[in-house]
Structure 1
Amino acid sequence: MFAEASRHLRRLVPYDAAVWRVTDPETGMMAAPIRAENLDEHGCAVYWETELFTENVNLFRDLARAAVPVAGLREATGDLPARSGLYHSFMKPRGLQDELRAVLRVGGRPHGHISLFRAHGRPAFGPVENRLVESLVTPLARKLRSFAGMSPQPLPDSPHGPGLLLFDASGALLSANDDARAHLADLPEGPAVVAGAGLRVPAWVQATALKARAVSQGRDRGHARVRVRTRRGHWLVCHASCLRESDGRLGPSAVVVEPAKTSEIVPLVVDAFELTEREAEVTRCIARGLPTGRIAEQLHLSPHTVRDYIKSIFEKVGVSSRGELVGRLFTEYYAPLAERGTLRTHD
């Protein structure tokens, strides 16, 4: 989707380099996959270190809440990009003069980021181009949101446990256990840093470690937590925290990557089918096995209204029964885990 969108957008808004990112809609943090165009992989840590520790122009977390979630660097700085830390540390060394940022959001939640760059000697991104990119924010976010509803492929017979990675203050990998290596091998390709023994550390993993350090230093808020989908359609959760030495000084950042719980993924799947808040409430009641009358009582609705909601839910999810609905939203993504603990016999 990113490749196709970029191909069309470049004809209308010319740019020399770009990064397209998926984000976790709950935390707004970069996830996977990521598409980088005409940029080397060595700048990811520099980019996010600047974003988290020094930058104060067009921050993604601010754009996510802004009335217009699109902004150009030269426009925001009065055509003085040198006022930006990102310009000095990331853009200028790569011959880039302007960045147009956009947060892809729908329903007030960010599902992705776009960074478009222009090289030295090129004109700044203008108001017309900003409005054109703004018009794409919601359609692209809706499409990204819809991918959470895709069914996964079967899991292998030997699932892996929690993976652990340790990063130093600069974001360099110190160590990783075997489970972490196995999880990373199943993730979509994208910008990464090659660590020891040829291990490729995805940019979003490194950014999660930097986020944890920024929170510990009081430079950022929130949680260093992100949900990521593997190539086979299953979900992992990545969360990080900054350790402290015995004397209280900040130590390395610990990043844990592990299979996501059903409760962490169901909100994404429900959102993917564009269920309203009331439809989501009815769906949760159905998952608990409540009949129409009980649902009506609990939600203070008439049975006729509940039936209308159920009909609408079936149409959106593409099912024809309550059993199918529960299977699609709550069981389908984790059934293989239960299957491995089941011994089937036939007389």
Structure 2
Amino acid sequence: MTDPETGILTTPMHGENIDARGCFAYWEIELRAGSVNLYSDLTTAPIPVAALRESTGGAPGTSAIYVDFMKPRGLYDELRAVLRVGGRPQGTISLFRTSKAFSRADVEFVNSLVPRLATRLRSYATPGPYAATMGGPGLLLFDTAGSLVSVNDDARHYLEDLPDGGPSTDSPVGLPVPPWLHTVARKACTGPTRIRLRTRGGQWLVCHASPMSEVGGAPQGSAVVIEPAKASDVMPLIADAYELSEREIQVTQYVARGLPTEKIAKELFLSPHTVRDHIKAIFEKTQVSSRGELVGKLFVEHYRPAAEQAARDHS
């Protein structure tokens, strides 16, 4: 899966016939030297699916992924797809063949599956069974080589509660590093980045990563912070999962603030009748029957279990 706002790899992730070191190497090459069929390019391409040999005119040697990853492993061609819906990436797929190139028919077939697969992944954000993970900010420090060198107990706790992140590599601190975490730490070396993750218990976390530097400005690796997400972090994902339009999201935000129909209409330069139509459509998409239920589903349900757990802990 990917974060739909940044397109950065997140979790869960599934890999077959690839070991941890190979998975690590694949994403390292993609981040450092990728140039052909980049996932970031496919996100906005007219067709978000591409085969390596077709894209390079039969000359895959122009691709670092082929030279440094595929050729040493006896892989002949790669087909990549960004699973996007509504212009937002929800996940990625990478398929390999050892002796035969992917055809145009293969590309078109996978492309025909993209909307359905992406919609399914997007639905992952809708509220469901929830078990809160309590704790403070988790901190992980990476050196300039991308190796995890320090981690606190809260970070360990959050990582243990996440779905399978794919093949992981070992680290000096004894904590497996999944591909998404390595990717976030690496991307942070060039600037702050952020993704959101959902635990096995249903809680949303936000992962911030920033570059670090020594006194004098020399690069010093990156710092990654994992902590419980705020409602403002989660609401866009949930709204997107319910297929709310941009205008419907705006109306929902004003509803959450308690504004009546007339004031919402004034704020958005709409007629009250149009606002009521939007609210009706929002109710149908989210399967609620009142403003209170809507606010509960999009803003409150994410936190109610945590609040209930805290109350039990103090009773």
Smaller-chain TM-score range?
over 0.9
Partner of 1:88: 67
SS in structure 2 at match of 1:327: helix
Alpha-carbon deviations, 1:99-154, whole Å to 9, x = none?
A: 101111111111111101111xx210011110111111122111111111132413
From the superposition, tell whether residues 304 and 53 of structure 1 become closer, same or farther in structure 2 (CA, over 3 Å): same
**Counterpart among 101, 111, 119 of residue 134 in structure 1:** 111
Aligned to 1:116: 95
After TM superposition, give the deviation of residue 34 of structure 1 in Å: 0.4
Which residue does the alignment assign to 2:234?
A: 265
Secondary structure of the equivalent of 1:31?
A: coil
C-alpha distance in structure 1 between counterparts of 2:229 and 2:167, whole Å: 23
For 1:344 and 1:141, the matched residues in 2 are separated by: 39
Q: How many Å apart are 1:337 and its aligned residue?
A: 3.3
User: 3-state SS of the aligned residue for 1:279?
Assistant: helix
- 1:10 corresponds in structure 2 to none
Alignment of 1:16-31 (within 5 A): 22-31=1-10
Q: Distance in 2 between matches of 1:238 and 1:44?
A: 21
User: Take 2:174 and 2:224, find their aligned partners in 1: how far apart are those partners?
Assistant: 19
Residue aligned with 2:83, SS: strand
2:308 equivalent to 1:333: no
Structure 1 gap ranges (5+)? 1-21, 217-222
Provide the C-alpha distance between the structure 2 equivalents of 1:307 and 1:344, rounded to a whole number of angstroms: 42
Structure 1 position 205 matched with structure 2 position 174: no
Q: Distance in 2 between matches of 1:192 and 1:225?
A: 20
The aligned residue for residue 187 of structure 1 is 162
How far off its partner does 1:304 sit? Answer: 2.7
Q: Within 5 A, what are the aligned runs for 1:294-333?
A: 294-333=263-302
Provide TM-score, normalisation by structure 1: 0.85
C-alpha distance in 1 between matches for 2:5 and 2:167: 23
Judge conservation of contact 1:24–1:227 (CA < 8 Å) in 2: yes
- Distance in structure 1 (CA, Å) of the matches to 2:16 and 2:308: 41
* Alignment correspondent of 1:168: 143
Q: Measure how far apart 1:344 and its partner are.
A: 12
Of the candidates 98, 103, 108, which is equivalent to residue 77 of structure 2? Answer: 98
Work out the CA distance in 2 between the residues paired with 1:33 and 1:229.
9
What RMSD in Å do the two structures reach over aligned CA positions?
1.9
Match of 2:27 among 26, 48, 66: 48
After TM superposition, which residue ranges in structure 1, 4 or more long, deviate above 6 angstroms?
none
Corresponding pairs, count: 313
How big is the shift at 1:164? 1.1
Query: Cα distance, 1:200 vs. partner?
Result: 1.7
CA contact (8 A) 1:48 1:210 kept: no
TM-score, normalised relative to structure 2: 0.93
**Corresponding residue for 1:143?**
120
324-333 or 230-239, larger mean C-alpha shift: 230-239
- 1:100 and 1:293 mapped to 2: Cα distance? 52
Partner letter of residue 262 of structure 1?
Answer: A
Distance 2:240 2:210 in 1: 28
Return the offset for 1:73.
Answer: 0.9
Q: CA deviation at 1:170?
A: 2.7
Residue 235 of structure 1 contacts residue 259 of structure 1 at CA under 8 Å; is this kept in 2?
yes
- The percent identity for this pair of structures is 57
Tell me, in whole angstroms, the C-alpha distance in 2 between the residues paired with 1:296 and 1:103.
37
- Distance in 2 between residues matched to 1:44 and 1:160, nearest whole Å: 30
Aligned amino acid, residue 105 of structure 2: V
The answer to whether residue 130 in structure 2 is matched with residue 153 in structure 1 is: yes
d(CA) in 1 for partners of 2:64 and 2:310? 53
Distance 2:205 2:270 in 1: 37
Secondary structure of residue in 1 paired with 2:282? helix
Alignment of 1:263-302 (within 5 A): 263-302=232-271
* Cα displacement string for residues 21-46 of structure 1 (whole angstroms, at most 9, x for unaligned residues): x0001111000000101111112332
How far apart are residue 197 of structure 1 and its match? Answer: 5.7
Is the contact made by 1:30 and 1:204 (CA closer than 8 Å) also made in structure 2? yes
Gaps of 5+ in 2: none
Q: Which amino acid aligns with 1:203?
A: P
